[in-house]
Chain A
């Protein structure tokens, strides 16, 4: 038998009635206003403990007992479902376990955004029909062509454009992995020398990039990089990853500060683009070597872009991959044996 102090609320009026609660084997009882209340222990509902708050026992008649006596409350047998909460309460209040939870939460959050989301995006991308993807690409291009968009009509001479188109076609004809694509020319204006791959295989090159290049090989090197993006459907996957990260955040931020959980996700988002750039680079290197264009052409045009970027314009190919020196290192090698001398 055990006796502890508590406040009793009958659920009808709001005043607290101080009582002494007696715990027996099967029952809980207390006297209030000259009357004795007695309940089966199996019928009362002790609430899961939270922090250092007063412990609450809900009574079957709608009343409740609130007590500061945590020890007495702890001796109450709990319904099975409540054991889980008592375990959580234990974890929440022991430093070692809290630190472990912190470590696991960081790991799990990082793993989900870093591996879970890209994996899911890849699966979803596979389900997106080619038609949908190309109509998405057309939409993006139309938006960028708009009066207030990035692009202006190209001023390149038709002969120059045709020469590049033919060079790209010849380039593609000589390898097995070339994905379906369409080459478009635009004047970059504010975005300057740049090239990008849109969903559905649309590759846009700006006049400024063509002007910046010293020879056709340098333009082809950039196009090879963009073909790498097209082949892996990076544009679509990137859009899907952004959407999915957003959904994950929405699911979590019902309870957590959007800012707090959003920040690491943004950082990891940068990482996505970085790994995509690396993939596209690897594709470009292999393709250039196969058709016997010196890989150094890519290194040269990247260096030229980098020099220009000091002026304030950052092409997409550079912005997510700041370490240009490390990036062009693989392109320093010569041509493979099949190219002869």
Chain B
């Protein structure tokens, strides 16, 4: 086969420039007691979308801040109700949680649809057509089965979820297709698990050696002195393993995704992501959050650098259809309760 044409993804955002946007967003959000955060979100997403280029043209984000705000009010109200119910009786809060779980698939599909329809590239909107029933299966039923199999099913669920996410998306009228091997997901998760166990053993051994000659000094030291480094080590190990897994999964996902005649190629390296996340964590903590914009920009730049399109990008072959808007409710409820959707 001949050498295939590759088109890079280019991110031109700059930390200095984004810092201005970030701090003005933060200031106005505080002054308006959080109301402005809906506008802040649109502005932040617009910055990232409009500075991400493929073939000389950038993405755009169109969500209306008002519909985000409405969703946020709803989610906030639910959160307050939940907090109160938790104070009154554990049964009531249990009912709340179960109701939330029942609605979860609907929330997931709505938020994906909202986000996709409000994203565009070259004047064409994206869309999400994933079926509600599939979301029920992959986010509720299979996880129940997973508990019964003691987690052995998890990589399989991850593969199914990511396929559901990828294949649900459309660019204009063109659907994305996904070919993810279940075996590869099992390998990625197994390696991450081995890394996790290995790092914990190494850390435990290190602490043991450190204290071997101090006899029972360990027990006598005050809580503050031991718990902070322990917590920090724990966080660092989780960050490392999380970054490792993320690099592996993103590569699997992008390399197995296709849009009509265009393929994708991602070559994220685990050690780069580990370095990126660990340094981000340290810089954000020690700058009391002030370096957050820089961390966000360099993370985005790295992801863009490592991703490219494969094949001829003759965009005139893509056509779109105009879409009605959809309420932000689903997405915002999802955000407040922190439903993590595992697609980068």
Contacts and interface: CB of A to CB of B under 8 A. Distances in A.
A204 B108 CA distance: 47
Interface residues of B, number: 67
A312 B221 contact: yes
A63 B124 CA distance: 9
Given A247-B80, A314-B222, A98 B20 contact: yes
Nearest to A17: B316
A179 to B, nearest CB: 23
Given A98-B20, A255-B40, A314-B222, A13 B76 contact: no
A254 B292 contact: no
B123 A64 contact: yes
Nearest to A256: B26
A264 B24 CA distance: 18
Nearest to B21: A92
A329 to B, nearest CB: 25
Contacts of B335: 254
Contacts of B332: 254
A4 B29 CA distance: 37
Contact of A16 (B44, B56, B290, B320): B56
Interface stretch (B10-18, B130-138, B304-312): B10-18
Contacts of A15: 122, 314-316
Interface stretch (B30-38, B144-152, B198-206): B30-38
A97 B60 CA distance: 27
Given A11-B320, A257-B292, A252 B30 contact: yes
Interface string A16-54: 100000000000000000000000000000000011111
Contact of A311 (B21, B83, B220, B224): B220
Interface in A239-286: 243, 247-248, 250-252, 254-257, 259-261, 263-264
Interface residues of A, number: 52
A14 B285 contact: no
Nearest to A261: B289
Contacts of B222: 312, 314
Contact of B33 (A13, A105, A251): A251
Nearest to B322: A62
Contact of A51 (B33, B51, B83, B171): B51
A92 to B, nearest CB: 3
Contacts of B281: 259
Contact of A50 (B46, B57, B289, B322): B46
Given A13-B318, A252-B34, A255-B41, A51 B18 contact: yes
Contact of B60 (A56, A105, A252): A56
A185 B284 CA distance: 45
B51 A105 contact: no
A119 interface: no
B22 to A, nearest CB: 8
A98 B288 contact: no
A11 B124 CA distance: 6
Interface string B63-83: 000000000100010011001
A188 to B, nearest CB: 15
B37 A98 contact: no
25 contacts: A9-B123, A11-B123, A13-B124, A13-B317, A14-B121, A14-B123, A14-B171, A51-B21, A62-B123, A88-B43, A94-B20, A97-B20, A98-B24, A102-B23, A105-B27, A247-B83, A251-B29, A252-B29, A252-B34, A255-B37, A255-B44, A256-B292, A259-B281, A259-B284, A260-B290
* Among all A-B residue pairs, the 3 with the closest Cβ atoms: A260-B289, A9-B123, A251-B34
